[in-house]
């Protein structure tokens, strides 16, 4: 979802911030790092204390760095393979911190062993989703698609956790966690089957060559 509105945010809402950072000589990698540290701190400091709404607001404020750094890189002509690698790697850290913070919430004030397990599953499968794509591409294959893209997972858990805390409806967060667990599973299975199909096709082609 975040990706689908990227052009709007970068072109209208975040352009003044991007221009200011560029004028100040701030590097895109610095914005990436600060954004990840801020989002991770918001999740790991506030969620375990049961301050879900505060955590969501802090995380959301820093999540937009994911849009700012890319726009800055293009504006300054400083796009690079390292920048792409750095951004993608820190994205994984931020995602893990968010679900790790929720896991600690359920292990503490949330007091639910069931949701500790389901949240841990979401954390692990989210990482596997990204790994499956990266590994497939390293082999020259494609493993995109599925209903649990990173941006969609992030928006869903933050919005529903925030709304659940604001209106005292934790069911919104619970349903979202289960939905993400199922969506992650579907995405990983789909990518495995996609890669298997391509690998078998390559093998068949090699045998007939």
Active site residues: 91
Contact partners, residue 187, CB within 8 Å, separation at least 6:
129, 145, 146, 147, 148, 149
């Amino acid at each position: 979802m975040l990706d689908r509105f990227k052009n709007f945010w970068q072109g209208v809402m975040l352009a003044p911030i991007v221009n200011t950072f560029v004028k100040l000589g701030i590097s895109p990698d610095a914005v990436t790092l600060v954004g990840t540290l801020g989002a991770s701190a918001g999740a790991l400091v506030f969620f375990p204390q049961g301050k879900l709404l505060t955590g969501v607001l802090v995380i959301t404020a820093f999540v937009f760095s994911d849009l700012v750094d890319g726009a800055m890189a293009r504006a300054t002509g400083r796009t690079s393979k390292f920048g792409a690698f750095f951004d993608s790697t820190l994205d994984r850290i931020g995602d893990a911190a968010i679900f790790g913070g929720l896991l600690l919430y359920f292990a503490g004030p949330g007091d639910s062993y069931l949701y500790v397990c389901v949240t841990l599953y979401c954390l692990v499968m989210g990482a596997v989703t990204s790994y499956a794509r990266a590994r497939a591409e390293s082999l020259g294959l494609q493993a995109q698609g599925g209903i649990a893209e990173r941006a969609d997972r992030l928006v869903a858990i933050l919005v529903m956790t925030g709304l659940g805390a604001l209106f005292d409806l934790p069911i919104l967060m619970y349903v979202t966690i289960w939905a993400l667990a199922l969506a992650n599973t579907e995405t990983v299975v789909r990518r495995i089957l996609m890669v298997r199909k391509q690998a078998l096709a390559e093998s068949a082609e090699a045998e007939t060559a």
